[in-house]
Chain A
Amino acid sequence: MGKIKTKVGFRGNVKEIEVTIPDHEPAPWDAETPLKVVGTDVPRLEASLKVTGRAKYTADIHLHGMLIAKILHAPYGAARIKKLDVSAAEAMPGVRGTTVFKGEGRPLLYHGDEILAIAADTEEQAEDAVAAVKVDYEFGTPVTTVEAAMKASAPSVFEGKENVQENKKARIRQNDPEKAIQEAAKIIEATYETQVQTHSCLEPHGVVARFNEDGSLTLWASTQALFQVRSDAAAQAKLPQQKVRVIAEHVGGGFGSKFALGPFGIAAIELAKKTGHPVKCVLTREGEHTTGGNRPSSIQKMRGGVTRDGKIAGVSVTTHGTGGVAGGAGCANPAVYHFPAVHKEEYSVYTHAGPAMAFRAPGHPQGFFALECFIDEMAEAVGLDPLEFRKRNCDNELYHAEWDLGAQKIGWKERRNTVAGGGPGAVKRGLGMASTLWYQKGGWKDWFGQRYAVEIVATRDGAVEVRNASQDIGTGLRTLLACIVAEELGLRPEEISVKIGDTDLPRGAPSGGSQVSPSIGPAARNAAFQLKKKVREVAGLGDGVTWKEACRRIEGEALRVTGERSPNYGEYKDKVAGCQFVEVEVNVETGRIRVKKVVAVQDAGKVIDKLTFESQIVGGVTQGISYALFENRILDRRRATQVNADFISYKIAGAADVPEIVPIAFDVANAVNNCGMMGLGEPPTIPTAAAIANAVHNAIGVRVRSLPMTPDKVLTALAGGEGRK
């Protein structure tokens, strides 16, 4: 270990701090390190494979003798299986095996609940067999909304358990919030609502399971946590983990919904065991929407006080939300700003709906929708510009710099309506803003306690291969590792090949909490740093000897070096900041909101590849727009069926709905690890809905406090009814 001095911060605000770094590690890239590759535009290495359809996803795997399994999902919630008869189904052509999840007498809590799975020679045969299963359902009374589930007379989703459960850990009582609010110059009260959003990954969940001749098990899985799937699969198949290999070469999105083996994976393993054939089980879109995960809803009741000079005096937040049969419906509210006194209570409410799962910044888009709208409402109450109000209540210079940059790019001063609403014509224009944050610094080990490592192999022909087990759910890990290694070795990213997505490779990280890049990147740099030293030692790299020439002098076939991830150093900031500025048009006659432009300023430590960095911002903003305006899981109030379990009435923003997005990759030297990297995947989707809602208010002068902001809600708010609840 040794102490070093390093320059941290951002352009116009650089200072020196001291951090302690392990021996044999290079000093972090800091604010003044000259870099050739890092921070430039490097196209995604696998881009052409993906756009030409050659990239193989789990659903593309075809093995010799492979069967296809289909799951029979309950079409209703709050039901019970009175009778289950599979005889006709099992007599159908091509059917090879059945595995039952829930037999006669068992409750089916939600639409999608797995009843059984059938494997057959072809997909069509499996579908037909599943359709031929005879089930008699007994219907109970479902509760499909938070309000319904909270009524005293509501049926319990889980027998003998209250529907409403407090998340006790979230409770906050800081100073005396009631007094602080009561004594403030202005008191503001508002209730905000957000809907349930399903993950809707383009690639559905799925697993291919094959038992090998030596008794080992190979899985191809659409997953964001290879080692979790391996652990789950080993337990399911009663094998030691070393006998299970999991492969995920390309994954078409996860967003938090693909951490576990899942019922489809259990079905594939059980049916492979039963039939002696490899089995593929991939969810249908209906299965995706109903069982593949969702973001819990929220109802957030807020009360706050503001002093005459525009300082927040205190806030009280009570939230209720439903994650269906899962708990954990929390809201990251309050945050970012200085709240001298806080009261917070959080409740999860059970309903007859599929289980919520972690979803891109769990709790944050919903929490920040309420928080950032409420900040605007507080600013309005004391007659301050929302940007000025934010500045008065936050002393983090990173936010101040990003706000100023975003404001300048959207034309905040010149183009924002000083009086909300008004102006001639049916179509009104407005500007709004909101901020974001995230916590990820990357880590050195996973939740199994295993240390992350990257191996680099340099062969005599000068080729370099970087190897790590992590899966890439679309973030561009290959490209990132190539950039880091290329920078360290003095090569170009295209000269590096990267092998990932396989538990046989050195330990990788789960794609959760935006941790893969900042966890694995520094291990890659360590490996490259050591490799370079070695090549210099054994082959005289440098002093006029090029990489290729040096590699020719390697003894044996190749040099192999493994770099490990070490714990984080100190840091400049322990969180990332960010903000978005939005321009909207609202038609006050039809209630239609159109987003015209989004300026998104986002930091996440050092910008490694500017293109993939911007791509995360654009993706996050797009998903945020979709959440703000369109997406909404709709359950039948009497049978708990999701009536829009498809991509026709479950509406996702399409190309025509995506406005001009200006992503600004805000480079921060953070010294947190040898690359200075922080997590980026989640923060850019957090503030979008709030920024849009604030822009809508600026356009039409009334608040829409409920997501999605569909025309009916805009019109009701304009008619003086509820937007406010």
Chain B
Amino acid sequence: MKNFEYVLPGSLEEASKAAADGGAKLKAAGVDLLDEMKNTVATPDKVVNLLSVGGMREIVRTKDGWRVGALVTLAQLADSRLPAAITAAAGEAATPQIRNVATVGGNLCQRPRCWYYRNRAYACLRKGGTVCYALEGENRYHAIFHNDACAIVHPSNVAPALLALGATVVTNRRSIPIEEFFVLPSDHVDRENVLEDGEIVTEVQVAQSRWSSAYREERERDSFDWATVSAAVALRMDGAVVKDARVVLGAVAPVPLRSKEGERVLIGQRLTEKIAQAAGEAAFKGATPLSDNAYKRLVGPANLKRAILSAGL
């Protein structure tokens, strides 16, 4: 492992300053960062430990919602009274041991799990190379949307849920609607979000609303496993009728993917299994699967249907 300077900042300003040069990396719990360093996929000169800043570890109830500190653990989030989609997404992630330390900020900013990206022997597009090896290689867990340049899927469970509930990501510099937080490879192939050097996620704000929500994922085994497809759905119901809907797909694109197609099918309709099914199909209609991941186009609608029904019924 490359030697690095270990910075224990006493304040956000110090942390931001230390992290401002290109060779520095922020560390929260370090679950993801240390993995990357051991694989030598990340080789920072400087590791800035956010845990020493103090604060950012609480979920604060405000009059119109919640402020979730960036260092709140997934276990805390799973046990909280936030909307169901968010607690379920946090509770399904990783393992109990990991959830006890992994942070919300780290979960949103974790790097992709693509096996070429994580393998030091493959200088892939995301690591400054010229090729996405998944496109013509092994891609059963890769993207079926926006996969023409780089076929990673965004690995975070929590992100689709936050997107379905219209959360805001707050940094030491600005507030960013979560819709605008994640970036596609066609815009930036070397990062997954809009954060700049020295910019630190400090909290995530979720508004309280009358929307009801659900998160569902499919995976290959019940013990820890990343989702093959996931869906977060928030609905504003009027009796049995869907007044408004936010449908987000996870694990199928380089970003958590809002599906307007799915939403359009639902809005203004009585929520039935048939409508949920139709929304599921509409959401996956435009998929462009690779050689080995066409199954996601079958599992995806079934999973989304279940998410819609459990959000609305």
The interface of chain A, by Cβ under 8 A from chain B, is: 75-76, 124, 127-128, 131, 426, 587, 589-592, 594, 629-630, 634-638, 641, 643-644, 648-649, 651, 653-657, 710-712, 715-716, 719
| Other-chain residue from A587, A657, A711 in contact with B222 (beta carbon distance below 8 A) | A657
- The answer to whether residues A711 and B137 also contact, given A591-B299, A641-B119, A643-B119 and a CB cut-off of 8 A, is no
Q: B222 touching A594 by the CB < 8 A rule?
A: yes
Identify which of B40, B115, B298 contacts A649 (C-beta below 8 A). B115
Residue contact B137 to A128, C-beta cutoff 8 Å: no
Closest to A75 in B: B121
Report how far A636 CA is from B1 CA in the complex, Å: 26
Q: A638-B136, A711-B299 are in contact. Are A76 and B221 (CB under 8 A)?
A: no
Interface residues of B in 197-228 (CB under 8 A from A): 218, 220-225, 228
B117 to chain A, nearest CB (A): 11
Residue pairs across A and B with CB atoms within 8 Å: the count is 82
- Report yes or no: A127 in contact with B116, Cβ–Cβ below 8 A: no
B140 part of interface (Cβ distance < 8 Å): yes
Complex: how many Å from CA A497 to CA B136? 59
* A643 near B115: Cβ-Cβ < 8 Å: yes
Contact A637 B221 (CB under 8 A): no
Question: How distant is A491 from chain B, measured CB to nearest CB, in Å?
Answer: 42
- Where the two chains meet, the residues of B that have a C-beta atom closer than 8 Å to any C-beta of A are 1, 40, 113, 115-116, 119-122, 133, 136-138, 140-141, 218, 220-225, 228, 294-295, 298-299, 302-303, 305
Residues of A within 8 Å of B294, CB to CB, are: 712
Bound-state CA distance A54–B221 (Å) is 32
Which of B133, B220, B295, B305 interacts with A651 by CB under 8 Å?
B220
Q: Are B1 and A641 in contact (CB under 8 A)?
A: no
* CA distance in complex: A298, B194 (Å): 48
- Min CB gap B224→A, angstroms: 7
Q: Is the CB of B298 within 8 A of A657?
A: no
Additional A-B contact list (15), CB under 8 Å, known A634-B140, A656-B222, A712-B294? A426-B302, A589-B299, A589-B305, A590-B299, A591-B295, A629-B220, A630-B221, A636-B138, A649-B115, A649-B141, A656-B223, A710-B220, A711-B228, A712-B140, A719-B298
| Most A-side CB within 10 Å, residue of B1, B115, B221 | B221
B298 in contact with A636 (CB, 8 Å): no
Instruction: Name the CB-closest residue of B to A76.
Output: B121
Tell me if A653 and B1 are in contact (CB < 8 A). no
Is the CB–CB distance between B298 and A715 below 8 Å? yes
Instruction: Report whether A657 and B218 are in contact in the complex, using a CB–CB cutoff of 8 Å.
Output: no
* In-complex Cβ contact of B220 among A426, A637, A641, A711 (8 A): A711
A710 to B220, CA, bound (A): 7
A715 touches B295 (CB 8 A): yes
- Residue among B40, B299, B303 having the largest count of chain A Cβ atoms under 10 Å: B299
Closest CB-CB distance, B144 to chain A, in whole Å?
12
**Shortest 5 CB-CB contacts between residues of A and residues of B:** A654-B223, A712-B295, A75-B121, A589-B302, A656-B222
Residue of B nearest to A655 (CB): B223
A629 partner residues in chain B, CB cutoff 8 A: 220-221
Known contacts A124-B1, A131-B40, A636-B137; is-contact A711 B218 (Cβ 8 Å): yes
Complex Cα distance A401/B15, Å?
A: 71
Residues of B within 8 A of A592 (CB): 218, 220
**Once bound together, how far apart are the Cα atoms of A602 and B25, in whole Å?**
55
Q: In the complex the two chains form, is B121's CB within 8 Å of A653's CB?
A: no
Residue of A nearest to B3 (CB): A128
Q: In the complex, what residues of A have CB within 8 A of residue B298's CB?
A: 591, 715, 719
**In-complex Cβ contact of B116 among A643, A648, A656 (8 A):** A643
Question: Contact between A651 and B225 (Cβ–Cβ < 8 Å)?
Answer: yes
B302 touches A643 (CB 8 A): no
Shortest C-beta distance, A708 to chain B (Å), equals 9
B121 nearest in chain A by CB position: A75
- Measured CB to CB, the closest approach of chain B to A367, in angstroms, equals 25
With the chains together, A630 CA to B294 CA distance in Å?
19
| Most-contacted residue by chain A among B119, B140, B228 (CB, 10 A) | B119
Q: Which residues of A contact B302 (CB under 8 A)?
A: 426, 587, 589-590
In whole angstroms, what is the CA distance A634 to B116 when docked?
A: 12
- Closest Cβ neighbor of B136 among chain A residues: A638
Contacts of A124 in B (CB 8 A): 1
| B221 in contact with A590 (CB, 8 Å) | no
The answer to whether A716 touches B295, judged by C-beta atoms less than 8 angstroms apart, is: yes
Q: Which of B137, B294, B303 has the most CB of A within 10 A?
A: B137
Supposing A76-B121, A637-B138 touch, asked if A654 and B222 sit within 8 A by C-beta, the answer is yes
B106 shortest CB reach to chain A, Å: 17
When distances are taken between beta carbons in the complex, the residues of chain A under 8 Å from B299 are: 589-591, 711-712, 715
Which residues in B have their C-beta under 8 angstroms from that of A638?
A: 133, 136-137
A-B contact pairs, 12 of them (CB 8 A): A124-B1, A589-B299, A590-B299, A629-B221, A630-B221, A641-B119, A643-B138, A656-B221, A657-B223, A712-B140, A716-B295, A719-B298
B40 / chain A contacts, CB cutoff of 8 Å? 131
Q: Which residues of A contact B136 (CB under 8 A)?
A: 638
User: When chains A and B are docked, how far (Å) is the Cα of A711 from the Cα of B294?
Assistant: 11
Which residues on B sit within 8 Å (CB–CB) of A657?
221-223
Report whether B221 and A653 are in contact in the complex, using a CB–CB cutoff of 8 Å: yes
A656 to B305, CA, bound (A): 25
Q: Chain B contacts of A76 at CB under 8 A? A: 121
Cβ contact of B218, chosen from A75, A590, A636, A654, cutoff 8 A? A590
- Separation in Å of the B303 CB from the closest CB of chain A? 6
Task: Give chain B nearest CB distance to A352 CB in angstroms.
Answer: 15
Which of chain A's residues have a CB closer than 8 A to the CB of B138?
634-637, 643
User: Closest chain A residue to B2 by CB distance?
Assistant: A128
Specify which chain B residues have a CB less than 8 angstroms from the CB of A127 in the assembled complex.
Answer: 1
